[in-house]
Amino acid sequence: MTKRPEIQNKRFWNLTSESLRYIAKDAKEAADNLPDCPKTGVWLDEVNDACTVLYHRSKEAK
C-alpha cells in the first residue's frame, strides 16, 4: 500500500469515486463560470483533491 498524498479535504478519502467525480465536475463548472468569485480558489482546491484521490485509487488498484 502506498502512502496517501496530503490533501486539504481529508473527508474526500471516505467518499465514493462517483461522488468525487461529481464534486470535481461541479466545482470546475463553478470556477469556470465565476472566475472572480472569492470562493474560486476553494472550488479549484476541491477539483484538485478529488482528482488526487481518484488517481491514488487507480494506482492502488493495479
Q: Within 13 Å, how many C-alpha atoms sit on residue 9's CB side?
A: 19
Tell whether the model's pLDDT for residue 47 goes beyond 70.
yes
Domain that holds residue 28: 13-60
Whether 3 is in a domain gets the answer no
Binned at pLDDT 50, 70 and 90, residue 51 comes out as: very high
Whether 53 is in a domain gets the answer yes
If one counts the domains in the chain, the total is 1
Mean pLDDT score, 32-51: 98
| Distance in angstroms (rounded) separating the CA atoms of residues 47 and 29 | 10
What average pLDDT is seen over the chain?
95
- pLDDT value at position 1? 63
Whether 43 is in a domain gets the answer yes
